[in-house]
Structure 1
Amino acid sequence: MFQAAAKTDVLIADIGGTNCRFQVWQLDAHFRPSRMVVEQYYATKDYPHFADALDALLSLDVLSGAARPTAAAFACAGPVKSQRCTMTNLGWTIDAAEIQKKFDIRCTVLNDFEAIGYGVPVLTDNDLVVLNDVPAEDKGPKAVLGPGTGLGEAQLFWDDRSNGYKVHASEGAHATFAPRGWKQRALQAHVEAERGHCSVERVACGSGLVRIYDFLRSDEPSQYPQDRMDRGKQVTPADVTNSGLDKSDAVAVEALDMFLSIVGAEAGHMALRGLTSGGVYICGGIFPKVIERVKAGGVLEAFLWRASRFYEKVLKDIPLYVVTEEKLGLLGTREQAIRIAQEIAMERTIAS
């Protein structure tokens, strides 16, 4: 069994539209993170290219000499093809081959939600709220969805060769929304009239929550004569969430409940598509903030509901979780950097 070198450091980065967040972690002999060596934030506007920001990081004294990382993983807010991501809003291109050539760092480039997927297997019980309390099958397929700015989705399947999960990115959030009941069907028609197509994402993300609120308020104004929010105000997801939780606005209460039901139903769809005996994980910034409402049962009811009793039974055997860990993407990115460090160590062991 090969072990990490006496001092092995890995580099990870979360690259967004505004900031680039770097971390360097020291690994122990078993390739587990023992301490964070450095964490740095760089404003993307200050650097013409990603390589410039990376060069600034690697120029720090703390990363000189033996402390310089030789393995890295970079998560990008954009599509990745052939280990290359072009972030058109920044003018940045993150290319694994070019980085390795220039900096002598072996690396991988991930989509940001792919990174979230790789974080799922390392979650602990303390990072999860269990909604459907049934045992997860060891090495069983998993699914993760994250309602936030948009709706991310991915599936995880066990790979014997690598002795770990492989994440398969998905664009399932852009599939057509499947409404349940007359009010959701009316919501779908409302969104179609506004946008031409009602995808799942358009009613199952932050802006989707606002879209549901606006629909309910405009569709039945007589039912809500005293909603709290000013009709001339630009409503935000936080406005709807807060007013739904404190019940100061009846429209927000119904909008939040409908939103949670829609996400729960989509989690059920993903469970059936992948027969995810390893569990379905709902992550993102919205659900942890409304966890008491989630626990009330609407999400699980929508997850389990099917006209066919047979498929309802299938879903009852699939665990459903809410992820409370806020840095899931960084966890997944770090796991991929560790994988590369293990590959390097194995190659050195074989060569010696």
Structure 2
Amino acid sequence: MFRILAADIGGTNSRFGFFELEPGAEEPRLQNIVRFATAESASFPELLARLFASPQHFAPSGCDLAVFAVAGPVQGHICRPPNIAWNIDLHDIAGLGLKRGALLNDFAAQAFACRSRAGRESQVLQRGRADHALHGGTMAVLGAGTGLGHCALVVDSAGDYIAVPSEAGHAAFPFVGEEECAYADYVRRSAHLDYCHGDAIVTGSGLSRLHAFLTGESLSPAEVGARLPHSPRTVEWFARFYGRAARNYALNVLSLGGVYLAGGVAAKNTVLVEHPAFLAEFCRSSAHGELLCGLPVLLNKNQDSGVLGAALFGAQRLRRRG
């Protein structure tokens, strides 16, 4: 039996899951999960020391692999997250007694989470057709949060999964019609951008920006979320933009394995993807409308899915190395 420590370290919260992987099992079993506010620790070693300051399901010396999913670019053994005051260096884990470690981007963990119970328990937005939910088909994951994350999950020749990272959130976002182009001009001016990209449109800040454009009210994303039942234009426009982002990525990677939405914006405000404008825009394509209408589209609302995905990544790595 293997023991895996899986962590999802974000700018706001850090989540740690303790897992056991039985011989022959495809998915590790979660034993318990621990959550901390990331800013309460002054360094990565301090965060780990805080975790193990109280008894856990296993001690650091009993851990076969520690996997850290981090909201930032991973470069070998180091990640410098843009929204955390300190860096994450895998060399630091030895001082806590952890023997082996791995780093991956947080959206790579979200991609692996498609194969976990978080993926199986996701809310179905479009059931799709069975012939399009092909075994081994590429899965597209995108999510509106602080940024607009993207990652694809593909299968290699050995049957293992590979997360294919993307910076599609920084690609130019397309607008249609005079009203939308007026909004694009507003975004460029207010956000001081050379061009509009997904991170400025389909995110929490994008929701605030859109609401301000449509209503004149300058509110935080949480405040806009509370007003959505009384803000039909904000809901319809954002749902349309989210559907467009999802459609574009689904076509970019030909996601016959399905499209999974993650991130806090839709998880906390499901109306933004349950509104008919979302699927209407997702399926809108003169060339591939039939294909898009046949793809499964799901909403992952599990706030711990990054931990589950990191654990699944760890299980695959342990099975490879033995």
Q: Into which bin does the TM-score normalised by the smaller protein fall?
A: 0.7 to 0.9
Partner of 1:338: 315
Partner of 1:82: 76
C-alpha displacement at 1:58, in angstroms? 4.0
Taking only aligned residues, the RMSD between alpha carbons, in angstroms, comes to: 2.6
Partner of 2:240: 261
Q: Is the 8 A contact 2:67 2:101 kept in 1?
A: yes
Q: 1:53 to 1:277 in 2, by over 3 A?
A: same
2:179 pairs with 1:189: no
Q: What residue identity is the alignment partner of 1:335? A: L
Partner of 1:179: 175
Match of 1:145 among 142, 145, 163: 142
Partner of 2:28: 33
Partner of 1:203: 201
> TM-score, normalised to structure 1's length?
0.80
Q: 1:217 to 1:81 in 2, by over 3 A?
A: same
Q: Measure the CA separation in 2 of the matches of 1:66 and 1:191.
A: 48
C-alpha displacement at 1:289, in angstroms? 3.9
Q: Measure the CA separation in 2 of the matches of 1:326 and 1:217.
A: 31
2:299 pairs with 1:322: yes
Q: What residue identity is the alignment partner of 2:235? A: L
Partner of 1:94: 88
Q: Measure the CA separation in 1 of the matches of 2:269 and 2:203.
A: 14
Q: Is the 8 A contact 2:262 2:301 kept in 1?
A: yes
Structure 2 residue runs of 5 or longer lacking an equivalent are none
Q: What residue identity is the alignment partner of 1:241? A: G
Q: Measure the CA separation in 2 of the matches of 1:23 and 1:323.
A: 18
Q: 1:167 to 1:269 in 2, by over 3 A?
A: same
Q: Measure the CA separation in 2 of the matches of 1:89 and 1:290.
A: 23
String of CA shifts for 1:125-183, please: whole Å, max 9, x gaps.
Answer: 4323132522211101111110112211111221123x222111111111111012221
> TM-score, normalised to structure 2's length?
0.87
Q: What residue identity is the alignment partner of 1:242? A: A
Structure 1 residue runs of 5 or longer lacking an equivalent are 219-230, 347-352
Q: Measure the CA separation in 2 of the matches of 1:328 and 1:189.
A: 36
Q: What residue identity is the alignment partner of 2:184? A: Q
Q: Is the 8 A contact 1:100 1:107 kept in 2?
A: no
Q: Is the 8 A contact 1:78 1:86 kept in 2?
A: yes
Partner of 1:131: 126
Larger radius of gyration, structure 1 or 2? 1
Q: Is the 8 A contact 2:138 2:153 kept in 1?
A: yes
Q: Tell me the SS of whatever aligns to 1:271.
A: helix
Match of 1:109 among 97, 103, 111: 103
Q: What residue identity is the alignment partner of 1:342? A: R
Partner of 1:239: 223
C-alpha displacement at 1:339, in angstroms? 2.3
2:115 pairs with 1:121: yes
Alignment size in residue pairs = 316
Q: Measure the CA separation in 1 of the matches of 2:109 and 2:60.
A: 27
Q: Tell me the SS of whatever aligns to 1:342.
A: helix
String of CA shifts for 1:84-110, please: whole Å, max 9, x gaps.
Answer: 212366453323355358735212101
